[in-house]
Amino acid sequence: MSAWILVPAVFASLLALGWAGRLAGQKATGNAPTYRDMPLAVAFGYAFALALVVAGVWLYLQPATLDGAPRASVIFWRWAVHFLAASAVAAFVFRLAGRHIGTEGTKKAFRNMPLTAAFGILVVLIYALTAIFAGWIAPHGQSQVFATANVVPGGNAALGGNPEFPLGTDQIGRDILSRLIYGAQNTVGIAFATTLLAFFLGGTLGFLAATLQGWVDQVLSRLVDVLMAIPSLIFSLLLITVASAWVSGAGLTAAMVVIIAVIDSTRVFRLSRAVGMNIVVMDYIEAAKLRGEGLTYLIFREILPNATAPLLAEFGLRFCFVFLTISALSFLGLGIQPPLADWGTMVKDLSAFINYAAFAPQIASAPLLAAGAIALLTVAVNFVVDWMLQRSSGLKE
């Protein structure tokens, strides 16, 4: 129960700290507008942020072992801090490099880029390279089974590791590092292909509907309304059930790609139709129509060049969505089928290791790495898209 008394106590002391800090600021600066016009809520916010930073530093500085046993909280916290610091440094260096290397156009883009976007681009590049060269990078095959199962990550033989398998092996003796690397190829590659298919389908139909209007638009739009009335994960699970009666293994993976692409193309249709509609009402389209231009010229020369910016941003977002859907399906055991290595499946298979985290933090890292790999790419793509959207909205003004 004492924990519940702690909450208001902490709140009150932070409020007092904020109030005192504001007062001190007013006194020190001779009532400068910054402190004079500061609401108490803002002062509280600063106090709260300060408390968070202090708590973080305190936890970081704690000893990593207590009476010989590892303190997992401290170790995980340090890993997180190290990862964040390394990412920030890498993004900073990458942006610096981008400002000095490349064409005038790319240099200019890097000059106004926030650090988050630089980080996003860097991560996307690394994933792309890993996916393309997985066969060269990975030390072992993705479905190669070794005699030594359940090797502990870390490569330290004293703790049950093996330098040959830096991240250890899974329950049936496959190298986790290799499977992670191949996972980039399979999970990302399949998600990318699915998104491309969805865009091809949805984009074509969307622009057709916007340009032709009339009954074509009506029929397609109503159809999309119905398909979108079913939650997409539920709908894909239903269709995968049906597909599983016909095909299995690699065939089922292919079926899943088609199913998700079709379901996702409804969203692409909505967007490209809306974007197309906005362009079609422009006077330059009317001028082209009155000139007597044909449908092909209208779509490819007048509409598409003006739709690329919003569509590119949407491609990023749709990719994230498809990628997460496929990962979720794989996690449920209904997505990418073995023997292909895949991150969602790996999380499911390795999830039991998390329960060992309290006394052996490195063991728990394997499933978290696979799940983190998914999250990291989606975060990166979102950062890039966020930046692109902000840039294009800024240009309009």
Partner 1 sequence: MTDLLLEMHDVQIEGRSDETWMPIIKGVDLILKKGEVLGLIGESGAGKSTLGLAAMGFTRDGVRISGGTVTFDGIDLRTASAETKRQLLGKRIAYVAQSAAASFNPAHKLIDQHTEAPVQHGTASKAESMADGIELYRRLRLPDPDEIGFRYPHQVSGGQLQRAMTAMAMATRPDLIIFDEPTTALDVTTQIEVLAAIRDIVEQFGTAAIYITHDLAVVAQMADRIKVLLKGEEVEEAETREMLSAPKEDYTKSLWAVRAFQRPAKPAPATDAIPVVSVQTVTAAYGKIPVLHDVSFDIHAGRTVAVVGESGSGKSTTARVITGLLPQSAGVVELDGEPLPADYRKRSKDQLRQIQMIYQMADTALNPRQTIAEIVGRPVEFYTGLKGHAKRNRVAELMEQIELPASEYADRLPSELSGGQKQRIGIARALAAEPKFIICDEVTSALDQLVAEGILRLLARLQDDLNLSYMFITHDLATVRSIADEVVVMKDGRVVEQGRKAEMFRPPHHPYTDLLLSSVPEMDPDWLTNLLAERGVHNIGDAAAASIK
Partner 2 sequence: MHPVLKIILQRLALGLLTLFIVSIVIFTAVNMLPGDFAQAILGQSATPEAVAAIRRDLGLDQPYVVRYFGWLTDMLQGNLGISYAQLNFQSNMGGQNLKTVADQIAPRFANTMFLAGVAAVIAVPFAVTLGVLAALYRNSAFDKAVNVGTLTSISSPEFFLAYILVLFLAVLNPLLPSIANIYQGISLADRLTATLLPALTLTLVVTAHMMRMTRAAIINLLASPYIEMARLKGVSPFRIIVKHALPNAWAPIINVIALNLAYLITGVVVVEVVFNYPGIGQLFVDAVKNRDIPVVQACCLIFAAAYILLNLAADILSMLANPRLRHPK
For partner 1, the binding residues (CB under 8 A) are: 33, 36-37, 112, 282-284, 286-287, 289-293, 301-302, 305-306, 394, 397
Residue 315 interacts with partner 2 (CB under 8 A)?
Answer: no
* Cα distances (Å, whole numbers) of residue 369 to 154, 349, 362, 373: 13, 13, 11, 6
CA-to-CA distance for 219 and 213, rounded, in angstroms?
10
Nearest approach in angstroms of CB 368 to partner 1 is 38
The one of partner 2, partner 1, none whose footprint includes residue 67, by CB under 5 to 8 A per kind, is none
The one of partner 1, partner 2, none whose footprint includes residue 8, by CB under 5 to 8 A per kind, is none
Kindly tell me which residue out of 15, 19, 25, 45 binds partner 2, with binding defined by CB under 8 A. 45
For residue 338, whether the previous peptide bond is cis, meaning omega lies within 30 degrees of 0, is no
Nearest approach in angstroms of CB 135 to partner 2 is 26
* Residue listed under structure tokens 């704690």: 62
Stretch binding partner 2 (CB under 8 A), from 167-175, 264-272, 278-286, 344-352 = 344-352
Residue 241 interacts with partner 2 (CB under 8 A)?
Answer: yes
Nearest approach in angstroms of CB 218 to partner 1 is 15
CA-to-CA distance for 194 and 319, rounded, in angstroms?
8
* Cα distances (Å, whole numbers) of residue 315 to 15, 17, 304, 372: 45, 46, 15, 22
Nearest approach in angstroms of CB 261 to partner 2 is 16
The one of partner 2, partner 1, none whose footprint includes residue 165, by CB under 5 to 8 A per kind, is none
Is-contact 210 276, C-beta < 8 A? Answer: yes
Is-contact 377 183, C-beta < 8 A? Answer: no
Helix, strand, coil shares of the chain as percentages rounded to 5? 80, 0, 20
* Residue listed under structure tokens 């016909």: 246
Beta carbon nearer to partner 2, 193 or 233: 233
Residue 220 interacts with partner 2 (CB under 8 A)?
Answer: no
Which residues, in sequence order, are CB contacts of 314 under 8 Å at separation 6+?
268, 271
Is-contact 77 59, C-beta < 8 A? Answer: yes
Residue 320 interacts with partner 2 (CB under 8 A)?
Answer: yes
Q: What token pair was written down for 150?
A: 């359940």
Residue 58 interacts with partner 2 (CB under 8 A)?
Answer: no
Is-contact 118 380, C-beta < 8 A? Answer: no
Considering only residues 117 to 176 of the shown chain, the ones binding partner 2 according to CB under 8 A are: none
What is the binding site for partner 2 (CB under 8 A)? 42, 45, 49, 72-73, 76, 116, 225-227, 229-235, 237-242, 244-246, 320, 324, 327-328, 331-334, 344, 347-348, 351, 354-355, 357-358, 364, 367-368, 371-372, 374-375, 378-379, 381-383, 386
